[in-house]
Structure 1
Amino acid sequence: MTTPAGTTTPAGTTRPAGTTTPAGTTTPAGARQMPLAGHVKEARDRIGRAALALAAGVVVGFLLANPVLDVIRSPLESVPDSRLAGLNYDSLTGAFDLSVRLAIIIGLVLSAPVWVYELLAFLAPGLTCKERRLTFAGLAAALPLFLVGCLAGAYLFPRMVEVLLGFASADDSTLLQASEFVDFALTFVLATGAAFTVPVGLVLLNLLGILPARVLVRSWRVVVVGIVVMSAMITPAADVLSMFLIAVPLTALYAAACLIAHIRDRSVARRARLATGEIAPTLGGAPERTD
């Protein structure tokens, strides 16, 4: 007999969708089987679309390379005349090479919505429902936090440059390699953005059952001290406000991760007790113990 949502086995019998076959494989509802050639063709098409988006982004990146370089270089323009600092190129093609690198980086950023979508669309059919939910929820939470962290890093970068140049003698001039300065600026901003997404990773590890909440709560002193030390190292010594701009949000995000993990662990423990009969579900009020 055939059911509407069923699949027919080689023996002619019908197996409802979502059940496990004798070989141990699961056939989730709505899943479609695809041969290897189909996977290769799909990968080729998605890589092609991502490459076209990246190429278009790089073209736009060439137009934006000089304005972006001016923004990165702007902290040097505020340096007093007594502490001369400027960007230098170590070869005849140094300026062109830097423009190409900036164009590629800008292209990657501008085309990110396309190639990230193509990557997720290719991988999603191989994930379980829970893995898909965790992946999309993690990205939805991490993206705004990453952007906020990058903005905080961009705000702190000019102050960082001012402090570092202050270590040079007033009689000295600081000659900076343009490529190294741009690498330092991008690394600083991206690292600050990545630091803001760490709590999302902690929550995902907890949801996967790898990192229990008690470990997060037990480590809060070490984590807070580490956050304060890191914030003090990457911010000017005399600018306490900048240090708090990094330390307070990171501490709050870690506390939120601990709270979410604690709520999740309590929910899992309660369901486990219900399954083993330690507590009996009631229609209202607190659950009753069966022992």
Structure 2
Amino acid sequence: MPLREHVRELRTRALLATAGLLVGAVVGWIAYPWLFEVLQEPVVALAEQRDDLISLNFGGVATPLDLQIKVALFAGAILSSPWWIYQLWAFVTPGLTRRERWTTLGFLGAGVPLFLAGGAVAWWLLPKAVGLLSGLTPADTANLIDAQSYLEFIMRMVLAFGLAFLLPVVMVGLNLAGLVRGSTWAHGWRWAVLLCFVFAAVATPTADAISMFSLALPMCLLYGLAVGLCLLHDRRADRRDPFAGTPDDGAGGALA
């Protein structure tokens, strides 16, 4: 596919993904009161547990409106995840044969649960992070947490974890598109493990090892699973075309 066609395809997929995001954001706007209660639950539970004054604080006149827009977009990203994950997959693998297009449903069915699982891991870690960070508040003082900073922190965490868990979907998509062979992913496993732990150390809000390993280990396991799927696909492709994996075959062989 020529470069101009790639750019046009990218624009089309981005517009479709954005449209789905906006539709989901409308639902998030309507459900904002319930969503806000859910998002502030770690703070409420911590205040009840410690019997201290720990509460969210709206520091500006326009802050409530700003937060409602951001929470609505956050909800839209989660609700429309099947749609924009499909658009990502359709862009990465535009040249699949009819026989291979069944994998779209298979990896869409894998990508959405992986994204949601990553968000669930982040949500599981958040009460620990809030408790640890707010525990540094000196005695006989109140902890009025800025609502905008708190909610942005939660939303970034959930989305970052969710996107991290999409790693194997992107890896397999690049492999099916003929851009990266499975052997390339396999040879780079040491760097992959290092990057997984670096990402986990940066993405997790606390300095404890449990939080870091809770993200890094699943990412490493998913990387290994994706490598296995890529190698299996390459083996089948090489049987159909014995010259597919040679250095003269273009991008796929060159990257091997």
**Separation in 1 of the partners of 2:205 and 2:73?**
29
2:114 corresponds to: 145
Indicate yes or no: 2:33 matched with 1:75. no
Which residues of structure 2 form unaligned runs of 5+?
1-11, 245-256
2:32 corresponds to: 65
**Separation in 1 of the partners of 2:209 and 2:143?**
23
**Separation in 2 of the partners of 1:209 and 1:66?**
46
Indicate yes or no: 2:201 matched with 1:256. no
Instruction: Pick from 153, 156, 176 the counterpart of residue 184 of structure 1.
Output: 153
**Higher mean displacement: 166-175 or 187-196:** 166-175
Q: TM-score, normalised by structure 1?
A: 0.61
**Separation in 1 of the partners of 2:197 and 2:73?**
35
**Separation in 2 of the partners of 1:96 and 1:211?**
45
Determine which structure has greater relative contact order: mean sequence separation of CA pairs < 8 Å that are 6+ residues apart, divided by chain length: 2
CA contact (8 A) 1:214 1:262 kept: yes
**Separation in 2 of the partners of 1:129 and 1:179?**
44
Q: State the Cα distance separating 1:176 from its structure 2 match.
A: 2.7
2:56 corresponds to: 87
Higher Cα Rg, which structure: 1
**Separation in 1 of the partners of 2:199 and 2:95?**
38
Q: State the Cα distance separating 1:96 from its structure 2 match.
A: 3.5
1:159 corresponds to: 128
CA contact (8 A) 1:89 1:177 kept: yes
Aligned pairs, number = 219
C-alpha RMSD of the superposition: 3.7
Provide closer, same or farther for how the CA distance between residues 130 and 105 of structure 1 changes in structure 2, counting only shifts above 3 A. same
**Separation in 2 of the partners of 1:63 and 1:273?**
56
**Higher mean displacement: 250-259 or 127-136:** 127-136
Instruction: Pick from 177, 195, 205 the counterpart of residue 226 of structure 1.
Output: 195
Q: Deviations over 1:24-57 (max 9, x none)?
A: xxxxxxxxxxxxxxxxxxx9xx98xx68x928x6
The equivalences for 1:126-137 within 5 A come to 128-130=95-97, 133=101, 135-137=104-106
Q: State the Cα distance separating 1:215 from its structure 2 match.
A: 2.1
CA contact (8 A) 1:159 1:235 kept: no
2:7 corresponds to: none
What amino acid does structure 1 have at the position aligned with 2:71?
L
Tell me which stretches of 4 or more aligned residues in structure 1 moved more than 6 Å.
Answer: none
**Separation in 2 of the partners of 1:182 and 1:255?**
33
**Greater fraction helix:** 2
**Separation in 2 of the partners of 1:273 and 1:255?**
25
2:241 corresponds to: 272
CA contact (8 A) 2:193 2:220 kept: yes
Provide closer, same or farther for how the CA distance between residues 230 and 89 of structure 1 changes in structure 2, counting only shifts above 3 A. same
Provide closer, same or farther for how the CA distance between residues 109 and 192 of structure 1 changes in structure 2, counting only shifts above 3 A. closer
Q: Deviations over 1:210-241 (max 9, x none)?
A: 1122221122122223323443551644563x
Which residues of structure 1 form unaligned runs of 5+?
1-42, 276-291
1:247 corresponds to: 216
What amino acid does structure 2 have at the position aligned with 1:64?
A
Q: State the Cα distance separating 1:274 from its structure 2 match.
A: 8.0
